């Protein structure tokens, strides 16, 4: 029996996760973990690696020390939190999600050189998540002032939009967060050196950095993390490249709201910005090659399409532009259904990895046909000492995925063995109503030969939605037949992003729909809709009192 003292657990779920991690280690037969006693007991054969056990504990954020037999527990302790990166030099290319990797590697004792060719902070804080959510929130406020379910008793009026002032407010907050969460932290960390310039590989152990200020600098490394992100993809439509079209980058810093906006795209960025511009005064037309959110459960696209059309947004499904012309400050898009005229054109058709120019072949780093870096679950590339994380890989393009991957890559670069589990990864789209998902759709489950049963709850069954006089959308739960285990949740509701993490935890902890239905949920909250939907597996919720348990 191997006894391990574990510090840092905060609940019984921590103990469950640690037990699962320990039992995955080769040579471990069984593991018993007690949160109240802060202790793990492991039955293992001689081949089981104690270092792997410590790495598993550290990866989950805890600290572990081995204890010898009962008579000499204090005779020898091996700390799981030791700085295993001492003496290593790690190069990190990028400063967005890569920031988490740089900080973790420094924490583990490595010396880090962080290389950034553009603005510190990467896409999210500068030209992505932060400015877009500020823009969307401003549009939401404008929409409520003009129209709400309470207009019969509260007078409404069309707001006057001063986009230049809104833009100044937006960019001031971007700069504040960039300095507080990136620049300031880097300046205060003596283990991290920042180089401003574009990096390319000379070979498997050296980078050449074309410095922004001029000249070149060679950087030797023991390990390297590539986290260069992605850029907007631009389709090859005849005539498009000769026009002043927008990507999301230009749209978010525009100081004016166009009278007419055409949007090519049918997913997250396209739809978030389309609705925001519409609510700030643009007449918006969306050209969708298929349907909205066609890769998701069909009900999601249908619900968002209905909400958009109710707001006056024109959604042209199964429509593509065969030509784009621009003259006299007007875009003319030729489609199979006629012409679309607009003052501005937003292209939001996905993103491509920023891997060109890195000279990856010189380091032996493999990419796929799309230029995406091929990695394993430990973020290792095809080159033994080179790792990659975030949007330049085939991981889901979310900043929290990139940061989590970067942290685990740092652990692995300094001798650990951490993997990123994406089986319960939440995703949120900030339209109104919002779209939030986690786990498997029915179609995805069936593709994996999992038999499912599901229930869909419309929001006219959710007391919070009724109290808000806003019953747009639905909540859908997907369960495994037989076990009843929850394996997927799709929601289209106001503030769906605020309820989805409860579903994440339920899936992560392998809860059944019965167990979810039995939980206490606060009354008159949107998240209560999860409980109500779970109850529909067993009863007719229309026959329950408002706060029936």
Q: How far apart are the first and last CA of the chain?
A: 44
CA gyration radius for the chain? 26
* SS3 track for 333-373: EEECCEEEEECEEEECCCEEECCCCCCHHHHCCCECCCCCE
- Residue 14 falls in the annotated catalytic set: yes
Cα separation of 29 and 175, whole Å? 52
Question: 263 and 273 in contact (C-beta within 8 Å)?
Answer: yes
Whether 547 sits among the annotated catalytic residues: the reply is yes
Tokens of 101: 């990797």
Q: Which of 1, 425, 523, 547 is catalytic?
A: 547
Burial of 188 (0-12, 13-18, 19+ CB in 10 A): exposed
- The answer to whether 392 is a known catalytic residue is no
Among 1, 43, 379, 546, the active-site one is: 546
Nearest by Cα to 529 from 505, 481, 495: 495
The half-sphere exposure of 271 on its side-chain side, counting CA atoms within 13 A, is 27
Among residues 322, 542, 275, 319, the alpha carbon closest in space to that of 435 is found at 275
* Rounded CA separation 438/304 (Å): 18
Annotated catalytic residue, options 62, 182, 245, 387: 62
11 carries an active-site annotation: yes
To the query of whether residue 124 is one of the catalytic residues in this protein, the response is yes
Q: Which residues pair with 92 in a beta bridge?
A: 114, 225
List Cβ neighbours of 187 (8 Å cut-off, separation of 6 or more).
none
Q: CB under 8 Å to 184, separation ≥6 — which residues? A: none
Distance CA 357, CA 353 (A): 11
Catalytic residue among 124, 392, 526, 533: 124
- If we measure between CA atoms, which residue out of 450, 419, 496, 416 comes closest to residue 20? 419
> Which is nearest to 404 in space by CA: 383, 419, 423, 387?
419
On whether the CB atoms of residues 478 and 506 are closer than 8 A, the answer is no
| Residue from 1, 53, 99, 129 carrying the catalytic annotation | 129
According to DSSP, the β-strands at 111-116 and 192-203 are parallel
Is 53 among the catalytic positions? Answer: no
Nearest to 237 by CA among 256, 212, 262, 206: 262
Q: Is 533 a residue of the active site?
A: no
Question: Annotated active-site positions, please?
Answer: 9, 11, 14, 62, 124, 129, 546-547
């Amino acid at each position: 029996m191997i006894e391990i003292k574990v510090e840092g657990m905060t609940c019984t779920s921590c103990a469950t996760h640690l037990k699962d991690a320990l039992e995955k280690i080769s040579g471990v037969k069984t593991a018993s973990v007690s949160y109240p006693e802060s202790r793990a007991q492991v039955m293992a054969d001689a081949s089981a690696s104690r270092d792997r056990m410590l790495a598993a504990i550290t990866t989950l954020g805890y600290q572990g020390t081995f204890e010898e037999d009962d008579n000499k527990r204090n005779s020898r302790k091996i700390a799981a939190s030791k700085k295993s990166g001492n003496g290593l030099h790690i190069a990190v290319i990028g400063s967005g999600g890569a920031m988490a990797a740089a900080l973790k590697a420094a924490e583990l004792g490595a010396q880090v050189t962080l290389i950034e060719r553009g603005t510190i902070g990467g896409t999210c804080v500068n030209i992505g998540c932060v400015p877009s959510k500020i823009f969307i929130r401003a549009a939401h406020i404008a929409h409520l002032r003009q129209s709400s379910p309470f207009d019969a008793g509260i007078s409404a009026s069309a707001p006057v939009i001063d986009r230049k002032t809104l833009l100044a407010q937006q960019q001031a907050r971007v700069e504040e967060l960039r300095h507080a969460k990136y620049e300031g932290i880097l300046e205060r960390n003596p283990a991290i050196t920042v180089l401003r310039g574009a990096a390319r590989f000379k070979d498997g152990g050296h980078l050449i950095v074309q410095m922004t200020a001029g000249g070149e600098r060679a950087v030797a490394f023991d390990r390297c993390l590539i986290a260069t992100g992605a850029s907007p993809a631009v389709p090859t439509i005849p005539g498009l490249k000769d026009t002043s079209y927008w990507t999301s980058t230009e749209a978010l810093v525009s100081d004016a709201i166009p009278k007419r906006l055409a949007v090519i795209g049918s997913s997250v960025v396209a739809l978030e910005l389309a609705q925001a511009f519409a609510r700030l005064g643009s007449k918006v037309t969306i050209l969708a090659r298929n349907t909205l959110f066609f890769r998701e459960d069909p009900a999601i696209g249908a619900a968002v399409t209905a909400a958009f059309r109710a707001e006056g947004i024109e959604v042209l499904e199964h429509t593509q532009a065969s030509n784009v012309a621009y003259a006299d400050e007007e875009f003319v898009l030729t489609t199979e259904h006629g012409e679309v005229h607009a003052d501005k054109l937003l292209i939001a058709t996905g993103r491509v990895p920023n891997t060109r120019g890195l000279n990856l072949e010189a380091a032996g780093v493999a990419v796929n046909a799309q230029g995406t870096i091929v990695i394993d679950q430990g973020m290792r590339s095809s080159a033994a000492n080179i790792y990659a994380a975030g949007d330049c890989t085939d991981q889901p393009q979310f900043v929290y995925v990139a940061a989590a991957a970067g942290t685990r890559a740092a652990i692995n670069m300094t001798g650990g063995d951490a993997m990123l589990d994406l089986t319960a990864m939440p995703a949120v789209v900030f339209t109104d109503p919002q779209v939030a998902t986690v786990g498997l759709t029915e179609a995805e489950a069936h593709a994996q030969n999992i038999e499912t049963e599901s229930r869909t709850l419309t929001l006219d069954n959710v007391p919070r939605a009724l109290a808000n006089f806003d019953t747009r959308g639905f909540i859908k739960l997907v369960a495994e037949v037989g076990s009843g285990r929850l394996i997927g949740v799709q929601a289209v509701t106001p503030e769906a992003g605020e309820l989805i993490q409860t579903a994440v935890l339920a899936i992560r902890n392998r809860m059944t729909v019965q167990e979810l239905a039995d939980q206490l949920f606060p009354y008159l909250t949107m998240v209560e809709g999860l409980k109500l939907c779970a109850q529909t597996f067993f009863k007719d919720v229309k026959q329950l009192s408002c706060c029936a348990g």
